[in-house]
């Protein structure tokens, strides 16, 4: 029998795509086919533990947590985290994790008011956004940065184009501005595809022609992106062809 289920296309790095695919499976079972075709892969960078007196660490991604964990520095203190999933991962690794509320602006706001004594280190990827370190320095925080990974661009595999060419409804989930930019390099602007983007910052990187069927998450986290997957299923199940910016 021909598969008539809608398709969810995930293009973030493999580990992140697999985590989200698992959450979709837990929530929706087999109601949607998940196609994983990463347009980026994580390349870990070799770094050394700091000798500074560290008051706290900052993570603006789960990969930042994983990169920090590759450094044997013995730190077990406070971690200021961009959102709940990042905070949960940091907590599982023995840190006192604080969920700052969902974006770089919130991280800067919380850390700048914490009256920390000592160095604060932001563990991040090469393509970081939000200028967290400089903004905290402007507030007088002794903030350093440590780039622990880079996101290496990948060419789409055949599954990517097979999904886009399908006659079934397709939802592409975009979790970062870089993901949106890379996705746009390989998709025709007249593609009849739905988009779920995690924040307005990501939406700004989407071509205007592709914004016709774009949904923006109510909060920049995986839970809100799962809500968009459910909304997509409701829309295509009801035959809706409308837009939501």
Q: What is the mean pLDDT of residues 18-36?
A: 96
pLDDT of residue 52: 74
Does residue 241 register a pLDDT over 70?
no
What's the pLDDT at 1? Answer: 64
What pLDDT does residue 243 have?
46
pLDDT at res. 239: 59
Q: What pLDDT, on a 0 to 100 scale, did the predictor assign at position 245? A: 41
d(CA 199, CA 184): 16
In contact, 174 and 203? CB cutoff 8 Å: no
Which domains are present in the chain? 7-39+154-237 (3.40.50.10090), 43-151 (3.40.50.10090)
Mean local confidence (pLDDT), 73-85: 89
Q: Which residues pair with 43 in a beta bridge?
A: 150
pLDDT digits (tens, 9 = 90+) for 137-175: 999 999 999 999 999 999 999 999 999 999 999 999 999
195 has which bridge partners?
172, 214
């Amino acid at each position: 029998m021909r598969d008539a289920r809608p398709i969810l296309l995930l293009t973030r790095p493999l580990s992140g795509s697999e985590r989200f695919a698992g959450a979709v499976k837990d929530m929706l079972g087999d109601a949607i086919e998940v196609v994983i075709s990463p347009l980026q892969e994580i390349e870990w960078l070799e770094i050394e533990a700091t000798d500074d007196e560290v008051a706290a660490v900052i993570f603006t991604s789960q990969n930042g947590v994983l990169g920090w964990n590759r450094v044997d520095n013995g730190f077990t203190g406070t971690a200021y985290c961009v959102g709940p999933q990042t905070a949960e991962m940091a907590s599982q690794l023995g840190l006192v994790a604080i969920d700052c509320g969902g974006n770089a602006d919130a991280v800067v706001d919380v850390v700048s008011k914490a009256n920390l004594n000592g160095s604060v280190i932001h563990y991040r990827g090469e393509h970081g956004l939000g200028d967290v370190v400089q903004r905290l320095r402007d507030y007088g925080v002794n903030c350093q940065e440590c780039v622990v990974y880079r996101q290496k661009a990948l060419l789409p595999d055949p599954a990517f184009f097979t999904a886009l060419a399908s006659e079934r409804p397709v939802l592409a989930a975009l979790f970062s501005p870089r993901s949106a930019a890379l996705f746009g390099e390989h998709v025709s602007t007249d593609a009849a595809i739905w988009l779920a983007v995690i924040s307005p910052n990501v939406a700004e990187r989407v071509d205007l022609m592709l914004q016709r069927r774009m949904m923006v998450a109510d909060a920049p986290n995986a839970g809100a992106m799962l809500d968009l997957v459910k909304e997509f299923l409701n829309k295509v199940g009801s035959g809706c062809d409308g837009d939501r910016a």
